[in-house]
Amino acid sequence: MEQREAIVAVLRRGDRVLAIRRGPAVARPGYWQPISGKIEPGETQEQAVAREVREEVGLTVVPLAKAWESETDDHRFRLHWWTARADTGEVLPDPGEVAEARWVTPEEFLALDPVFDGDREFFERILPGM
């Protein structure tokens, strides 16, 4: 099977990042993670970041920089990790995709359960150097 391309949007507000708990309409519901989603044909990574954030939590964001690449634990997706600024606006989760959303510190994210191993690696190894 060909590996698909997806983005991960690390939304920052001050010293906090937005964590979402996957909703009932998506694979692996209940996991905590940053917002993520597939890159659509003809779409840039930056466009995918803005679209996925708008669809999942209703925020308008400015993609800032690509921070990392990884792949999902099942190897189905190559993940392009982007930081994005979400200075204003209320988080309005799409109830099918997002069961809950919280602004958390990186330490609080690491205490959430369950989280994907790749997300844990980003918060432990990549984010502290940014």
pLDDT in tens, 91-125: 999 999 999 999 999 999 999 999 999 999 999 99
Question: What per-residue confidence (pLDDT) applies to 71?
Answer: 95
The per-residue pLDDT for 87 is 77
Give the pLDDT of residue 91.
96
Residue numbers of the chain with a pLDDT score lower than 50: none
Where do the domains of the chain lie, and which CATH numbers do they carry?
Answer: 4-129 (3.90.79.10)
Phi and psi angles of residue 41, each rounded to the nearest 5 degrees, phi first: -55, 135
pTM exceeds 0.85 for this model: yes
3-state secondary structure 61-98: CEEEEEEEEEECCCCCEEEEEEEEECCCCCCCCCCCCE
19 contacts 9 by C-beta, under 8 angstroms:
no
Mean pLDDT of all residues belonging to the chain:
95
